[in-house]
Chains A and B, each alone.
Chain A
Amino acid sequence: MSLQLFTQYLFSGITYGILYAIVAIGFNIIYNTTGIINFAQGEFVMLGGMCAISLHEYMPLPAAILLAVIITGIIGGLIEIIFIRWLDSPSVLRMIIITIGLSILIREAALFVWGESVRSLPYFNGDAVTSVQIFGANISPQVLWVIGVCSVIVVGLSLFFQFTYAGREMRACAANRTAATLCGINTRSKITWSFMLSAGIGAVAGCVMSPITYTQYDIGPGLAIKGFTVVILGGLGNSMAAVAAGLLLGIVESFSIIVVPMAYQEVISIAILLIVLFVRPHGLFGSSETACLQDF
């Protein structure tokens, strides 16, 4: 394989990989504070993209994206307040059914509002044919936007959880909710914030990806499956591992074109998901010891 082709595949893999990682981090944020796997995570990505596209008709791109992220965040918070908050330690199965139900609800609402048409945001720089030459490969500047923005999110989130007071409180809720309450932390509001944060970063990913992948009302479930694969691959609740796992999945998918036809790309991630679930259910980077403490 030529260096040019290799670079091309590599960048494509990284682009998708980091998107999967962002979806996976969204899963992890909510899982960590509540123990819930939110299968409506992919819908947040879709909502972010769709809102930004609609808003862009009335305002410049940065404002549209910002507003779309805020709106999606608020929707995430409302979902927690309306559907999740009043449940008193629900079973895992019940939560799965509720979040899948929510994902269907959001999808149908999006179909009603935006219809079936495929939309996209304009390229942030240039247009579909603008490209940057890297090792002879043609890379769209949008790819660099995706990689840059997603990296900023990843680094920003880890700094937020490590060093800010609000971040520490959210980690405390994750570690031991009773103890967090006894420290005077309002755990309920922290959980609402975690839904907002998770929805918000999903929306950011939805916006930067939109020019490349396009946005349609039903892109959510596909992304959720990819994101969930990455979560399982990296080990539940571990956001840094999710980045590594996301990149791994993205790159494997992109290079798989050499061996299998493009149409089978989807199969690869599901195959990986199944293999990991059978062989290492605690993830590549998780320890089996902590896995047996989790009820999922």
Chain B
Amino acid sequence: MRMLKIKNLTAAYGRVRVLKGISLHVNKGEIVCLIGANGAGKTTLLSSISGLLRPLTGEIILNGTLIPRRADKIVALGCSLVPEGRQVFAPMTVRENLILGAYVQYRKDKKALAGIETVYDLFPVLRERAEQLAGTLSGGEQQMLAMGRALMAKPKLIMLDEPSTGLAPLIVKNIFKIIQRMRTAGATVLLIEQNARAALKIADRGYVIETGKIILQGPASDLLNNRDVQRAYLGRVKGE
């Protein structure tokens, strides 16, 4: 069962073509990882899926329906993005950040705010910091808050844009554990990572994107053992 299917997507910033015909799919319950160098178009792809950027051509089908144009409606359909650089509401408290994440659910179901307990259980540090302003949190805590906020919308598909950037190794490990737990809880995950090795280790499948095109795809274990991938993204080649 396809959670997300993208056909021949092209997108551009002004005149600069960034995506040149991307096709990919994510099955229900999968963790799919997208790896590629800076400027390859990874973030642009997620921006297009989440509606922040209007693609030029192509189709994005979420859970069997063509996605609407407006970003806020895409969230309501069950597709949440944890953006690059956390993007928390800095002058608001942690609790308020999470409550705002539940906005799309709250309109349909006044009990949606109860989801905050699930998020606190997943990220106990957020419970401790509930009344603190989000801007005063450390980078790792802000990343957790951004993830928690996205989870409050109870997304079917959660997309994470470089969740480990700028975080200490121990926290990165924790974040990846939580991503796995989100999948166990029933979410489908599309992940972008600079830290390709860690990402491929938890992913089921992977895509390699280069200058706006998918150049390689396959099960994550195959990509981990692929010599080209190793050389370009994993930093070393086994046996060399």
Which A residues fall within an 8 A CB radius of B?
A: 165, 168-169, 171-172, 175-176, 178-187
Contact: B106 with A165, CB < 8 Å?
yes
Q: For the complex, what is the distance from the CA of A172 to the CA of B100, rounded to whole Å?
A: 8
B100 touches A168 (CB 8 A): yes
Structural contact, B90 and A176, CB atoms closer than 8 A: yes
Chain B interface size, under 10 / 10 to 19 / 20 to 34 / 35 or more: 20 to 34
Contacts of B6 in A (CB 8 A): none
Given contacts A172-B92, A172-B100, A183-B103, contact A178 B72 (CB under 8 A): no
Q: Which residues of A contact B106 (CB under 8 A)?
A: 165
Cβ 8 A contact of B90, one of A175, A178, A181, A187: A175
B residues near A (Cβ < 8 Å) are 50-52, 70-73, 75-76, 80-81, 83, 87-92, 96, 99-101, 103-104, 106, 149-150, 153
Q: How far is the CA of A180 from the CA of B91 in the complex (A)?
A: 13
Task: Jot down 12 A-B pairs with beta carbons below 8 A, ordered by A.
Answer: A172-B92, A175-B90, A175-B91, A179-B87, A179-B89, A180-B89, A181-B52, A182-B75, A184-B75, A184-B103, A184-B104, A185-B100
Contact A172 B80 (CB under 8 A): no
Q: Name A179's contact: one of B76, B83, B91, B153 (CB within 8 Å).
A: B83
Q: Is the CB of B153 within 8 A of A183?
A: yes
Q: A-B pairs with the 9 shortest C-beta distances?
A: A184-B75, A184-B104, A175-B89, A179-B87, A181-B71, A184-B72, A186-B72, A183-B100, A172-B100
Residues of B with C-beta under 8 A to A184: 72-73, 75-76, 103-104, 153
Q: How distant is the Cα of A183 from the Cα of B103 in the complex, in angstroms?
A: 7
Chain A, residue nearest B47 (CB): A178
A172 to B106, CA, bound (A): 16
